[in-house]
């Protein structure tokens, strides 16, 4: 394996972990919310049908944390470099995972998820690095500035691989977590507050913290990948700065004081103190001002085509997180509006089969779409084929009426696997297209800003779908054909319409 392939493999792992930390809780978050809440509030217990809003807050807190820090992670990457940003984020994320897995109260779990999101808000940095690896000369350790069509194709494929690993995470992570969550089935105990009856320390630990294992796995993945980034991945940012430099140039992160500035001399890199605004002009300010201006949120948002691409990304992020959040709630519902009371393992099995379907088709279908219809064609395919088919999910109740659980599992897994292929195509395509709307020195900050907006969208998505699914799944109907389920999934499928209309405003950019 050459240096580029090894670096891409490590970045793919980073992308997988980002998805793992977000979605590994999907199979068990409702059960975990019920377990933690009922253990603390024995006089005010909740059922799994009522768990939607409680489960949603676990995902929402994660995305709030990611939203608050996303832009600053991008700015850090533009100052100190991509490698040190990734390593710092991964180490902090692993520590926060242990905290969440050992949470003993619902409120503490919500807070811990928020901290995981804040530490793991580096999706934009990963996207930037994926693009820059395509133009990095590993032989000379320099960026290639004269891009050609072959490098553009290489960029498309590398970004496709990295983003496909994120989609892999969305499918495989819930499957893994579903199998290892609550191995002792503590949530089925008649009295969850009973004392521990075993002398085995590990069993005692799992009985106290039944959802520790999937988070322990997440922590180990974070720490091992941080080591991989340190050893293998090159620094693709030219002239990245040391920590001492960054302390003197803190204004580049947006923390400037009102009257005191530091100027970087453009000729020799020396530092000069500037104590009033009158000295700050285009001729004397030096490189820091230009870099601060071009990477500010205002300068990014003022680029109309970049703004439209980011809006498309944010809308799609909202819809996909809503779909991912709605699926396990639909699976565990015990009335006629859902599939039935499926366990974490059942949901994990469905997502494992969906992951296999995704693995077989994702990369080949994405590259075929891009080669045949272009990057923007992949966005249209992702909009329609990645969202509309979910309206068929309620038909699982029909399948269950005429078949056994295996038939239901295969039907839902096939549907989820196929839609994930086209959802991944959209995210890969929008990453390539958006990166091409800005110069390279703006990419990390732009992707950080994009991650901040996507984090906000993904924070609102679970809240919306938590209440939406609770309302629909509590539908008081006697029909065996899921009245509430049909309304729920048709409503989610209709969210593809505003995305499609937004795509019409994009100006194609191949720069």
DSSP assignment of 194-222: PPP----HHHHHHHH-TTHHHHHHHHHHH
Residue 110, token pair as written in the block = 């919500």
Query: 387 by DSSP, 3-state: which?
Result: coil
Determine if the pTM surpasses 0.85: no
What CATH number is associated with residue 154? 1.20.1250.20
- Whether 254 is covered by a domain: the verdict is no
- Whether 386 is covered by a domain: the verdict is yes
Rounded Cα distance, 196 and 217, in Å: 24
- Whether 268 is covered by a domain: the verdict is no
Rounded Cα distance, 83 and 23, in Å: 24
The separation between CA 295 and the C-alpha centre of its own chain, rounded to angstroms, equals 23
CB-side neighbour CA atoms (13 Å) of 128? 32
- Whether 250 is covered by a domain: the verdict is no
Q: Checking DSSP bridges between strand 142-143 and strand 136-137, what pairing results, if any?
A: antiparallel
- Whether 48 is covered by a domain: the verdict is yes
Residue 283, token pair as written in the block = 């001729």
The CB density around residue 143, as the number of other CB atoms within 10 Å, is: 13
Taking a C-beta distance cutoff of 8 angstroms, is the pair 313, 448 a contact? no
- Whether 265 is covered by a domain: the verdict is no
Residue 121, token pair as written in the block = 């808000």
Residue 69, token pair as written in the block = 């820090």
- Whether 487 is covered by a domain: the verdict is yes
* Per-residue pLDDT, 134: 79
Rounded Cα distance, 112 and 103, in Å: 8
* Per-residue pLDDT, 81: 85
Rounded Cα distance, 437 and 435, in Å: 5
Q: In 267-303, which positions are buried (b, 16+ CB within 10 angstroms) versus exposed (e)? A: eeeeeeebeeeeeeeeeebbebbebbebbbbebbeee
Taking a C-beta distance cutoff of 8 angstroms, is the pair 450, 122 a contact? no
Rounded Cα distance, 472 and 182, in Å: 28
Residue 315, token pair as written in the block = 């809308």
Identify the helix (H) or strand (E) that includes residue 107.
helix 106-119
Pick the closest to residue 420 from 451, 382, 393 (CA basis): 382
Rounded Cα distance, 326 and 465, in Å: 6
Q: Enumerate residue ranges in the chain where pLDDT < 70.
A: 1, 49, 136-151, 167, 186-199, 239-295, 334-338, 340-341, 400-403, 476-482, 508-511
Rounded Cα distance, 306 and 72, in Å: 19
Pick the closest to residue 400 from 463, 341, 461 (CA basis): 341
Please provide residue 335's backbone torsions phi and psi, each rounded to the nearest 5 degrees.
-105, -175
Q: At what angle do helices 212-232 and 82-101 cross, to 10 degrees?
A: 170
Q: Could you report the per-residue pLDDT of 31-56, keeping only the tens digit for each?
A: 888 888 888 877 788 777 677 788 88
* Per-residue pLDDT, 198: 59
Taking a C-beta distance cutoff of 8 angstroms, is the pair 357, 453 a contact? no
- Whether 258 is covered by a domain: the verdict is no
* Per-residue pLDDT, 396: 80
The CB density around residue 99, as the number of other CB atoms within 10 Å, is: 17
Q: Which domain holds residue 367?
A: 3-237+298-503
Please provide residue 271's backbone torsions phi and psi, each rounded to the nearest 5 degrees.
-110, 135
Rounded Cα distance, 352 and 338, in Å: 20
Look at the chain and report how many structural domains it folds into: 1
């Amino acid at each position: 394996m050459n240096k580029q392939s090894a670096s891409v493999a490590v970045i793919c792992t980073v992308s997988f972990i980002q998805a793992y930390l977000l979605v590994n809780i999907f199979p068990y978050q409702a059960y975990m919310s019920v377990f933690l809440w009922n253990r603390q509030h024995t006089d005010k217990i909740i059922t799994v049908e009522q768990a939607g809003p409680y489960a949603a807050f676990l995902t929402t807190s994660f995305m709030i944390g990611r939203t608050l820090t996303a832009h600053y992670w991008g700015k850090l990457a533009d100052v100190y470099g991509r490698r040190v940003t990734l390593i710092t984020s991964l180490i902090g994320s692993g520590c926060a995972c242990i905290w969440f897995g050992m949470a003993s109260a619902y409120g503490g779990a919500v807070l811990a998820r928020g901290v995981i999101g804040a530490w793991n808000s580096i999706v934009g940095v990963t996207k930037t690095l994926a693009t820059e690896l395509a133009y990095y000369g590993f032989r000379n350790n320099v960026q290639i500035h004269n891009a050609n069509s072959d490098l553009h194709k290489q960029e498309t494929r590398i970004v496709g691989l990295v983003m496909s690993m994120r989609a892999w995470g969305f499918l495989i992570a819930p499957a893994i977590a579903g199998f290892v969550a609550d191995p002792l089935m503590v949530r089925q105990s008649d009295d969850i507050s009973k004392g521990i009856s075993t002398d085995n320390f590990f069993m005692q630990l799992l009985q106290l913290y039944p959802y520790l294992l999937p988070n322990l796995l997440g922590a180990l993945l974070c720490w091992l990948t941080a080591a991989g980034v340190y050893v293998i991945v090159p620094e693709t940012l030219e002239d990245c700065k040391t920590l001492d430099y960054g302390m003197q140039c803190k204004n580049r992160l947006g923390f400037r004081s009102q009257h005191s500035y530091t100027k970087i001399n453009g000729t020799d890199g020396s530092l000069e103190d500037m104590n009033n605004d009158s000295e700050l002009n285009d001729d004397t300010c030096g490189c820091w001002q230009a870099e601060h201006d071009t990477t500010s949120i205002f300068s990014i948002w003022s680029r109309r085509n970049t703004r439209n691409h980011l809006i498309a990304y944010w809308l799609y992020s909202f819809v996909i997180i809503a779909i991912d959040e709605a699926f396990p709630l639909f699976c565990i519902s015990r009335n006629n509006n859902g599939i039935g009371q499926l366990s974490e393992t059942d949901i994990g099995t469905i997502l494992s089969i969906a992951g296999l379907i995704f693995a077989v088709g994702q990369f080949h279908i994405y590259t075929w779409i891009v080669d045949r219809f272009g990057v923007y064609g992949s966005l249209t395919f992702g909009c329609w084929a990645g969202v509309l088919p979910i309206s068929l999910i309620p038909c699982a109740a029909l399948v269950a009426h005429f078949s056994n659980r295996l038939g239901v599992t295969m039907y839902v897994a096939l549907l989820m696997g196929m839609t994930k292929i086209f959802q991944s195509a959209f995210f890969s395509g929008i990453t390539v297209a958006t990166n091409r709307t800005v110069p390279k020195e703006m990419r990390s900050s732009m992707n950080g800003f994009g991650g901040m907006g996507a984090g906000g969208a993904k924070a609102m998505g679970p809240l919306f779908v938590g209440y939406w699914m609770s309302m629909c799944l509590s539908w008081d109907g006697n029909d065996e054909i899921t009245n509430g389920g049909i309304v729920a999934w048709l409503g989610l499928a209709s969210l593809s319409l505003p995305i499609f209309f937004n795509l019409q405003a994009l100006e194609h950019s191949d720069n």
